[in-house]
Structure 1
């Protein structure tokens, strides 16, 4: 139990670091210049393919694996005092981890397929690229309903169980609501959820590492 909780604390801090790294990458070297047409954008992506592959691997696949560890640890920590809420939260947590990992694998395989198709049948490239980005966004990049539900429910379970700091759980409720709000197609909501999760994951990580376990 002790080792799992400590591992989860490290995982939560890594999740926050992954968010920060991803924001920096997509805000700098991976930010495509505005006004590019499809062919120009594909040329830009081809030049950044290795970095994009690493970014997707980090932001989705590794993030999802670490998330699975965190979901398990919080389930073990809360199940004895808030069983129903914890079980429901864990369902969404496992689902979120799976969706995030699938999204990352699809993004990398899809990008490779698009770039190869652009060399032989450029006329069909745009349609394939739109399909890849749409499906990837639906699974784990364009909305955060499932992740928001997990954070919201696990925070409610924490309040009921009186485990970990109360302020952490209230923050989690705000973060969870922000994630659920991303179902509305408005600019900035996904970024708000991501930024607030950096704070929540960091707080959670330090709380798990510092608190003595039963």
Structure 2
């Protein structure tokens, strides 16, 4: 159990690092030409395909693998005192794992498909790319309802079972509620959820590493 708790703590810290890296990459280095014509946009995507594919793998697939470890660690930590809530929260956690990993795979395969089509018909390729992007955003890019439910239920279980610092649990309630509110398509909600998750993952990781439960 101790080893699983430590693995969960490391996973949580790495997930916070992935969030930070994604904010830096898209905020400082990614200069997608939104106002350009389809041919120019696909020329940019083709030039940066390798970099974007690697970012998608880290931001979605690796994040999902680390999330699976954290979900199991938290389930085992909470299941003794709050078995029902722990099970319910873990269900949403595992669903979130699947959605995040699927988002990354769809994004990369969709990018390759759109770029291949762009050599023949840039306009149609742009339509396909926008449809793929909408699917990725709906599964795990811009809609964080499932992740919000996991954090919310986990925090409720931790409060009832007297696990983790209370302030962390109350902050988790806030993070979870914001995540659920991202069902409304507003970028500001997604950004608040992402920023607050960085703090939550970092805090949770330090707690799991410094106070492992045997």
TM range (shorter): over 0.9
Alignment match, 1:146: 146
Asked if the contact 1:30/1:48 (under 8 Å) is kept, the reply is no
Alignment match, 1:9: 9
Residue 19 of structure 1 pairs with residue 19 of structure 2: yes
Asked if the contact 2:6/2:212 (under 8 Å) is kept, the reply is no
Q: In the TM superposition, what whole-angstrom CA distance separates every residue of 1:32-71 from its partner, at most 9, and x where no partner exists? A: 1442232222111111111100100000000000000000
Q: Which runs of 5+ in 1 are unaligned?
A: none
Residue 182 of structure 1 pairs with residue 201 of structure 2: no
Q: In the TM superposition, what whole-angstrom CA distance separates every residue of 1:144-177 from its partner, at most 9, and x where no partner exists? A: 0000000000000000111111111111000000
Asked if the contact 1:13/1:206 (under 8 Å) is kept, the reply is yes
SS of the residue 2:119 aligns to: helix
1:139, distance to aligned residue in structure 2 (A): 0.6
Residue 91 of structure 1 pairs with residue 91 of structure 2: yes
Taking structure 1 as the reference length, what is the TM-score of the superposition?
Answer: 0.97
Q: How many residues align?
A: 214
Residue 41 of structure 1 pairs with residue 41 of structure 2: yes
Q: In the TM superposition, what whole-angstrom CA distance separates every residue of 1:74-111 from its partner, at most 9, and x where no partner exists? A: 00000010111111100000000000000000000000
Alignment match, 2:53: 53
SS of the residue 1:188 aligns to: helix
Q: In the TM superposition, what whole-angstrom CA distance separates every residue of 1:167-194 from its partner, at most 9, and x where no partner exists? A: 1111100000010010112231101100
Taking structure 2 as the reference length, what is the TM-score of the superposition?
Answer: 0.97
Alignment match, 1:74: 74
State the alpha-carbon separation in 1 of the partners of residues 196 and 175 from structure 2: 6
Moved more, 109-118 or 34-43: 34-43
Root-mean-square deviation over aligned CA pairs:
1.0
Q: Which runs of 5+ in 2 are unaligned?
A: none
